[in-house]
Amino acid sequence: MHNVRKVADDIWWLGASDRRIELFENTHRVPEGMSYNNYLVLDEKTCLLDGVDEAVTTQFWENLDFALGGRDLDYMVVDHMEPDHCAVIPDLVRRYPQLRLVGTAQAFKLMGQFFDFDAESRAIKVKEGDTLDLGRHTLQFVCAPMVHWPEVMVAYDQLTGTLFSADAFGAFGAMSGCIFADEVEWERDWADEARRYYANIVGKYGMQTTALLKKASKLDVRLICPLHAHLWRRDFDQILGRYAKWASYEPELRSVAIFYGSVYGHTANAADILSRQLAELGVRDVRVYDSSKTDVSELISRAFQYSHLVFASSTYNMEIFDGMRDLLLDLGNHGFSKRTVGVIYNGSWAPAAGKLMLAQLEAAKDVEVLEPVVHLVSSVKEETVGELDALAHALAASVRGE
């Protein structure tokens, strides 16, 4: 049975959710599942904006058949050629032989790499500022390369002010009927998942995201329709303001997040002692995370949120301990910058973790490493507590802007 919802004049949401999925892109944990949005414009011409993942194609076909009501499908706009939005394209062109596909030249190059049908014969290749006339509605195309693939564009409906924003402005998580952000407690229940989504999916491309925000600011946007999670019809600064911060790598919160990798608990103990010292110095909202247990996508998200970060790691096989090594590598891959950090390392006989951690952090852009760098020798001793206290004072002063 169909599950569609009208979202604007002649515009229908045809989305679906997958609550069985455990890993999005086979890497990011999604305990609440994942949503896949796409949209249909019913005008003199019919136009589908993007597709869905293979996992929800049954729901997609039921939705599309109902919404079309027996009409043919004239156009499909491919804003983003990633498979979680394009799995249905080969079946669409078989079902609708006259269907024209609209996308950037790069999108058609990728289409040819993923699929074997003749896409060129039905291609309408568009570039910045080009339009598609559907009747009452005119779609204007805005290029958004590397947000987060090179072929990405967004489509703006000049009649309704609807911005079909591709992978921008989305979030992890399945939806449950309430598809508009103002129909849920978004700040409480979804803001963290929006940050985790941005940081891990788009986060490396802050400069390109800023460019898209600048282009969008020149449009009369009255509705934002992303490919994942909630649609926005009011309170745009809730999402746009956050994107501006995330894209510029500015933190949301002036406080300290402590990440540790600990084999037997001694490095974890140092992290907890440091968190207590920070609290006693008046630093609020301190968080401590075990990098071996917490999904790395959550750690990346918190690194985008917090202004001050502490990395604490045991030495393991002459390396940084596993979870911490993965975290630092991933941070580097996501454009980690503009943070103040502390370092704690542990080693009983060959404390290699410290040198390796510092090398990675010093290679990052605009990252300040505070003194002292704390060295544990096997376990926390009285002298270590003193060094941790000195680091806590340095962190607290920096948080306060002193």
The predicted-structure confidence for 192-246, as pLDDT tens digits, reads as follows 999 999 999 999 999 999 999 999 999 999 999 999 999 999 999 999 999 999 9
User: What tokens appear for 338 in the block?
Assistant: 């503009």
Length of the chain: 402
The answer to whether residue 401 is domain-embedded is: no
- Give the separation between CA 127 and CA 143, rounded to whole angstroms: 7
Q: What is the CATH number of the domain that holds 192?
A: 3.60.15.10
The answer to whether residue 135 is domain-embedded is: yes
Residue-wise burial string across 288-303, b where 16 or more C-beta atoms lie within 10 A, e elsewhere: bbbbbeebbbbbbbbb
pLDDT (average), residues 177-185: 97
User: Which residue, among 122, 181, 132, has the nearest Cα to 156 in the 3D structure?
Assistant: 132
**243 in the same domain as 260:** no
**Residue 89 CB coordination number (10 Å):** 22
pLDDT at residue 265, as a whole number:
95
- Give the separation between CA 219 and CA 299, rounded to whole angstroms: 35
335 pLDDT higher than 90: no
**Residue 128 CB coordination number (10 Å):** 12
**265 in the same domain as 240:** no
Q: Quick: pLDDT tens for 341-393.
A: 999 999 988 899 999 999 999 988 999 999 999 999 999 999 999 999 999 99
**Residue 42 CB coordination number (10 Å):** 19
258 pLDDT higher than 80: yes
2 pLDDT band, cuts 50/70/90, is confident
Number of domains in the chain: 2
Chosen domain end from 213, 229, 247: 247
Give the mean pLDDT of the chain.
96
pLDDT at residue 226, as a whole number:
98
pTM of the full predicted structure?
0.94
Q: Quick: pLDDT tens for 139-151.
A: 999 999 999 999 9
Chosen domain end from 202, 219, 247: 247
1 pLDDT higher than 80: no
User: Which residue, among 353, 26, 14, has the nearest Cα to 175 in the 3D structure?
Assistant: 14
- Give the separation between CA 118 and CA 368, rounded to whole angstroms: 53
**294 in the same domain as 178:** no
**162 in the same domain as 118:** yes
396 pLDDT band, cuts 50/70/90, is very high
User: Which residue, among 197, 226, 200, 233, has the nearest Cα to 212 in the 3D structure?
Assistant: 226
The answer to whether residue 157 is domain-embedded is: yes
**388 in the same domain as 337:** yes
**239 in the same domain as 263:** no
- Give the separation between CA 176 and CA 291, rounded to whole angstroms: 31
Percent of the chain with pLDDT strictly greater than 70: 100
Domain of residue 342: give its range: 256-396
User: What tokens appear for 288 in the block?
Assistant: 């401590």
pLDDT at residue 38, as a whole number:
97
Q: Quick: pLDDT tens for 86-120.
A: 999 999 999 999 999 999 999 999 999 999 999 99
Chosen domain end from 213, 228, 247: 247
The answer to whether residue 111 is domain-embedded is: yes
Sign of CA dihedral 193, 195, 199, 202: positive
pLDDT at residue 350, as a whole number:
86
β-pairing verdict for 5-8 and 11-13: antiparallel
The enclosing H or E element of 45 equals: none
**194 in the same domain as 63:** yes
The answer to whether residue 402 is domain-embedded is: no
Residues 6+ apart with CB under 8 A from 136: 9, 10, 43, 44, 159
